[in-house]
Amino acid sequence: MGKLIDGKAFANRLCETLAEEVASLKSEKQLTPCIAVVLVGEDPASATYVGAKVKRCEQLGIDSRSHHLDVTTSEEELLSLIDSLNNDPAVHGILVQLPVPKQINSEAVINAISPDKDVDGFHISNVGAMAVGQNNMVPCTPLGSMMLLEDELGDLSGLNAVVVGRSNIVGKPMATLLLQKSCTVTVAHSRTKDLPAVCRGADILVAAVGIPHFVKADWIKEGATVIDVGINRIQDPETGKNRLVGDVDFDAAKDVAGAITPVPGGVGPMTIACLMYNTVAAAKKLSGIA
């Protein structure tokens, strides 16, 4: 059996370090990092995610301001709120929980957030900065995945990396970050010819397609490191209860991979920890602290 990459433990260690840094910023710089979280509507999964983020803020000493808007909120109303948060010096990070209701253009919302307060790392300016290797806000899930990879493997240069999925939120930025670490990167997707063969060439395999158990064990090269970004809710045929599974057929893959992230307990906790990381970084940058 391959090594389990414990994202929950890593996230806890990262948050302990961030809590110490936040305490130092408060006592030495009179600076309290603050994030504003905006939720539009009543989507249960989104409400759960927001609750988890607010809880982490409390644990770290980060101020959080929650704005829960009605599902009928117009795009104009949401953009007006974002504008006020952009201009509030006490707010260092702004996160609008996606998805938003259909009457609101998510791209307009993302790009209305000040790039310096874009702790999700989705603003077009931050995406462009990342593409050319400049310091910027990096999307939380790819950032957390990279932290786990470097902790597990150390130097990634020269390794073959395959990213299955090309979303703007995970797939594309993940490929960019791997390229920056001098990996040889392949981005695979629904139109990739002979996808299993492409995956078998990977020293690092990142699954980010949103399909439960999509990546099979015989797609994985023996000893490869597997990062499973998927979070899918399925019904267990034996118990009838819902449970979370990844994009990788974990039970079979764990016997082939050299190291693999479980679901839950892998990449998921890192995403929220990296949101806290980005919020602290934003607070320091906006306050002129190196």
The residues that bridge with 187 in the sheet, in sequence order, are: 163
Residues 149 and 237 in one domain: yes
pLDDT band at 157 (very low <50, low <70, confident <90, very high): very high
Domain CATH number, residue 86: 3.40.50.10860
Quick one: average pLDDT of 36-51? 91
Average pLDDT value for the chain: 95
Residues 258 and 145 in one domain: yes
Query: Does 285 map to a domain?
Result: no
Query: Does 72 map to a domain?
Result: yes
The residues that bridge with 34 in the sheet, in sequence order, are: 63
Q: Is 5 annotated as a binding residue?
A: no
Residues 91 and 35 in one domain: yes
In the set 116, 120, 203, 247, the catalytic residue is 120
Q: Which of 65, 97, 114 is the last residue of a domain?
A: 114
Residues 39 and 84 in one domain: yes
Q: Is 230 helix (H, G, I), strand (E, B) or coil?
A: coil
Share of the chain above pLDDT 90, in %: 90
Query: Does 10 map to a domain?
Result: no
Quick one: average pLDDT of 256-280? 97
In this model, does residue 249 exceed pLDDT 80?
yes
Backbone angles phi, psi at 54, to 5 degrees: -65, -40
Query: Does 94 map to a domain?
Result: yes
In this model, does residue 190 exceed pLDDT 90?
no
Query: Does 11 map to a domain?
Result: no
CA distance 7 to 75: 36
Quick one: average pLDDT of 235-263? 92
In this model, does residue 1 exceed pLDDT 80?
no
CB burial of residue 179 (10 Å; 0-12, 13-18, 19+): middle
Residues 220 and 108 in one domain: no
In this model, does residue 53 exceed pLDDT 90?
yes
Q: Is 200 annotated as a binding residue?
A: no
**Contact call for residues 282 and 117 (beta carbons, < 8 A):** yes
- Report pLDDT digits (tens) over 11-24: 999 999 999 999 99
Quick one: average pLDDT of 113-142? 95
Domain that holds residue 215: 140-268
pLDDT band at 240 (very low <50, low <70, confident <90, very high): confident
Closest by CA to 138, choosing from 150, 149, 123, 151, is: 123
Q: Residues 22-52, buried b or exposed e (16+ Cβ, 10 A)?
A: beebeeeeebebbbbbbbbbebeebeebbee
Quick one: average pLDDT of 271-285? 97
User: What pLDDT does 290 receive?
Assistant: 66
Could you confirm whether 53 is annotated as catalytic? Answer: yes
Residues 164 and 48 in one domain: no
Could you confirm whether 120 is annotated as catalytic? Answer: yes
Q: Is 56 annotated as a binding residue?
A: no
How many domains does one find in the chain? 2
pLDDT band at 173 (very low <50, low <70, confident <90, very high): very high
Could you confirm whether 284 is annotated as catalytic? Answer: no
In the set 53, 181, 221, 254, the catalytic residue is 53
Q: Is 165 annotated as a binding residue?
A: yes
Query: Does 125 map to a domain?
Result: no
Tell me: cis bond preceding 264? Omega within 30 of 0 counts: yes
Residues 208 and 102 in one domain: no
Residues 90 and 146 in one domain: no
Query: Does 278 map to a domain?
Result: no
Share of the chain above pLDDT 70, in %: 100
